Chain A
Amino acid sequence: MSQNSIEVHNLSVAYNRIPVLWDIDFELPKGQIIGIVGPNGSGKSTLLKAIMGLIPLSSGFAKIFDKELDLVRERVAYVPQRESVDWDFPATVEDVVRMGRYKKGKLFNRLSSIDKHLASEAIEKVKLTPYKDRQISQLSGGQQQRVFLARALTQGADMYVMDEPFVGVDVATEKTILELLISMKNEGKTVVIVHHDLQTVSDSFDYLVLLNTRLIAHGPTKEILTEENLQATYGGQLNLLSKIRNIIKNKDFPMREKGFEDK
């Protein structure tokens, strides 16, 4: 049995040719609530997308449960940022949550009654049953976030990877989400959350990854939450690193040279 939920090795990413992540290297445990935390623009969401194979990497790799993502896709559920979609899409809450049962290789089959039942259960868990037939733009921000969460629950994964689930949600939603996260952990699931603010909900994280374009620290929350680490995470960007970054951008330079790694 593997011990790691996620392993990231030498991972660098450039976005529109601007480097946003430098050589990130860590291993994350299983069965815990893990926060990836850093200020705006620190590359948290990019890291998550890189792990989920949604964007090209400049160097390195990410493994999930010690395997290539493609081999374990069904064990991971990804919750994108709420703002990443147009909520005016013609779909009801139920329609969106049922998308959680769309599986690779089974996309051409009809959903079974078990699939539909699983979706209803998830809607009930996030307390949206009274709204299940509503068009999704007629929901509050918090309710929309819960729709995404319900879709992920419907996927029945072992690991849940969420991008900023607490942004723009009401207190009730925050509470519902936190309760769900804890009950998921108790079932042995791993939860990875990108979060920008250590003031709120950080008590619930068992394990932290502090990030500001480079890895600052990672480890159990109690050990990591030091004044020094926080200063490094939130104390602004490194001067020289920003300068180098601008040179890379302006000169169209690659972030990594090719051909030395296999030697």
Chain B
Amino acid sequence: MIERIIYFFSDPIAQKVILGVAIIGAISGVVGTFSFLRKKTLIADAISHSVLPGVCIGFIFAGTKDPILLMIGSLVIGWFSVWIIDYISSTTKLSEDTSIALVSTLFFAIGSVLLSFISKSGNAEQSGLKNFLFGKAATMTAFDIQVFAIVSIGILLIVIVFFKPFQIVCFNLEFARSIGVKVRRIEFLLSTLTVLTVAIGIQAVGVVLMSALLIAPAASARYWTNKLPIMVFIAAIFGMLSGVMGVMFSTIKDNMPTGPWIVFALFLFTLLTLLFAPKKGWFSIRKRNKLNSRKIAEENILKIIYHLKEEGNSTISFGNFLEKRTMDTILLEKTLNYLVDIGFLKDSKKLFTLTENGELEAARIVRSHRLWELYLTKRMNFKDDHIHGTAETIEHLITPEIEKELLKELDFPTSDPHNKEIPYA
């Protein structure tokens, strides 16, 4: 396997293909970010399906797979599809997603019909044209890649120059219009960049799957940053790596299309993102939940000891706890040990007492609980028998700042609605 990979990267033909897909992947990530942020991902999908007739018409005119003519064909048909989708959704009662579905399938059907005409025409060059359906990176010639590189650099320059107009049109269209930005022109430019990107990508990825390369890198990149320039950069990296990995996977067996493998690689990055992304990733959410339930357990235990102490019981056993509250015994034991470790509890032969610090903390929690109960009755008109459940949760969330405000608003009360004493330190 490793030998194969080393061979793969040292082979000059493979190097050329890798360079090609790296460029395509990176530029798709960049352009796709703006489609994603404008919530126009379906349009990107429609464009990639719609350019098939453009490729065929380009081929009919050229008689060969000339990249520039194929690109011009794609560009014209891609534009036309965007315009017709816009026209249908703005002048008929059909919604945008309906007109997208109608137009993209119609254009794809036309492309397929043209494709079968071309394959019967007897032109020797036509055999490669079917590769535009699912993509075949290996068919890219050195000239193709040169053209793609030049177009990509052009797209990148436009993105850099138009960064601010793109940003405000994506974020707040009305504001952009109010400061005099010609929004229609910017939108047209963004569509053009999408069409161009599709045009250079379809040979390696295929019209059916090209939209994945536009959308998935941006969707993943959004999880890793809150800054637009960084998001564009991360999307470019994801797109590039997915392209390269997809080509690598596809060489496992001869004559496999590249598109599906690139999609698998993209999916891998999306999966990794959903698992590991900061804050919104699965592991991050799990960790947060764990910390929350640990905090709840610790504070509940301290509170129970405090209550028992109020009832005149200062040394507490496991049994005392479980009488007061159902709790997983493993969690109970673990939490008790932890509270002993941080010096809130004293443990003498499995009988627990509060230390001085533990007493302060327990009093704080009980105070939070009772203050919140009072707040619920006084400010939110809760009945006395409805307040306990809410306060059980909120007590864990009251920060020192909120406590200060509560005390001020309730004017340092001495007892809660159940006539229990509110403890002060």
Question: Chain A interface (Cβ within 8 Å of chain B)?
Answer: 49, 52-54, 70, 73, 76-78, 80, 84-86, 89-92, 95-96, 99, 102-104, 107-108, 135, 151, 155
Contacts and interface: CB of A to CB of B under 8 A. Distances in A.
Nearest to B230: A90
Given A54-B178, A70-B180, A89-B37, A108 B222 contact: no
Contacts of A77: 178
B interface SS class: helix
Given A80-B174, A89-B37, A91-B171, A73 B222 contact: no
Contacts of B226: 90-92, 135
Nearest to A78: B178
A76 B228 CA distance: 27
Contact of B168 (A86, A102, A108, A155): A102
Contacts of A76: 178
Contacts of A102: 164, 168, 179
Interface string B216-255: 0000001001111001000000000000000000000000
B165 A107 contact: yes
Interface of B: 37, 39, 161-162, 164-165, 167-168, 170-172, 174-175, 177-181, 222, 225-228, 231
Contacts of A54: 174, 177-178
A118 to B, nearest CB: 15
A240 B202 CA distance: 58
A91 B168 CA distance: 11
Contacts of A84: 172, 174
Nearest to A49: B174
A73 B179 contact: yes
B171 A104 contact: no
A86 B174 CA distance: 13
Contact of B164 (A85, A107, A155): A107
A65 to B, nearest CB: 15
Nearest to A96: B171
Contacts of A80: 172, 174-175, 178
Given A70-B180, A104-B179, A89 B171 contact: yes
A102 B176 CA distance: 9
A99 B168 contact: yes
A53 B177 contact: yes
A104 B181 contact: yes
B145 to A, nearest CB: 30
Contacts of B37: 89-90
A34 to B, nearest CB: 18
A96 B322 CA distance: 53
A92 B174 contact: no
Given A52-B177, A73-B179, A89-B170, 18 more contacts: A54-B177, A70-B180, A76-B178, A77-B178, A78-B175, A80-B174, A89-B228, A90-B226, A90-B227, A90-B231, A91-B228, A96-B171, A99-B172, A104-B181, A107-B164, A107-B165, A107-B181, A108-B161
Chain B CB within 10 Å — which of A70, A76, A107 has the most? A107
A151 B181 CA distance: 16
B171 A103 contact: no
A73 to B, nearest CB: 5
B175 A99 contact: yes
7 contacts: A53-B177, A78-B179, A80-B178, A92-B226, A107-B164, A107-B181, A151-B175
Contacts of B179: 73, 78, 102-104, 155
Nearest to B227: A90
Chain B CB within 10 Å — which of A73, A91, A135 has the most? A91
Contacts of B175: 78, 80, 99, 151
Contacts of A86: 39, 171
Chain B CB within 10 Å — which of A90, A135, A155 has the most? A90
Given A52-B178, A107-B165, A85 B172 contact: yes
B393 to A, nearest CB: 21
Nearest to A81: B174
A76 B162 CA distance: 23
B232 to A, nearest CB: 9
Contacts of B228: 89-91, 95
Contacts of A151: 175
Q: Closest 5 CB pairs between A and B?
A: A104-B180, A78-B178, A135-B226, A73-B180, A89-B171
Contacts of B172: 80, 84-85, 99
Contact of A90 (B165, B174, B222): B222
B13 to A, nearest CB: 39
Chain A CB within 10 Å — which of B37, B170, B172 has the most? B172
A84 B175 CA distance: 10
A53 B37 CA distance: 25
